[in-house]
Chains A and B, each alone.
Chain A
């Protein structure tokens, strides 16, 4: 089955700096790569997603890049703010309405 590796497990970044989280996956048939933000006691919230026919997607301070050949994708958050502190999960799926396999998560701390 699909295996998703996520690094780092913890990341501390000075407010205003950029944060990068990386993931790799094993199944070349995977086509959909969402990123989720989870705050304490809540369910995960979709923050950005990308399909396999696109190499990069940006939404304001958040961007995702995908290298399908190498089977890795990354989340980039620029100009980090205190409210960006949360746990971030990368995920992989065949399609947007198919089951999702999650990475182990990255706890992001934004330092004042």
Chain B
């Protein structure tokens, strides 16, 4: 079945570091990918919609200069957390849906746990 892969699965780094997270659709093409953030024991909150070849659409309250999104191909979107601080520590999850006739539901990656010291 369709698989979405995220890398890395876990990151621990110092405050002020920029961190890049990759989201890949392994066996299908995705014009749209979504980035979510999940704090412990809470729900997934949509951060932004990543569109291949164009600028991402950010949800209200999400700083676009803080969370840089690039969707350079139909199988890869990246989220860069710039100058990360402890309050950015969270579980970041991406999702993607395939395009074309008979497209399927969204498939989620297994997330990236980001810990900022």
A, B in one complex: yes
Q: Taking beta carbons and an 8 Å cutoff, which residues of A are in contact with B? A: 34, 36, 41-46, 49, 89, 96-97, 99-105
Asked whether A97 lies within 8 Å of B32 as measured between CB atoms, the reply is: yes
- Chain B interface residue count, CB cutoff 8 Å, equals 24
Decide: A100 near B111, CB < 8 A? Known: A89-B43, A105-B43. no
Extra 15 A-B pairs, beta carbons < 8 Å, given A43-B95, A44-B44, A49-B105: A34-B106, A41-B111, A43-B6, A43-B110, A43-B111, A89-B44, A96-B103, A96-B105, A96-B106, A97-B99, A100-B95, A102-B43, A103-B43, A104-B43, A105-B43
Closest chain A CB from B88 CB (angstroms): 19
Q: With the chains together, A34 CA to B32 CA distance in Å?
A: 18
| Chain A residues, Cβ within 8 Å of B108 | 36, 43-46
User: Across the A-B interface, how many residue pairs have beta carbons closer than 8 Å?
Assistant: 53
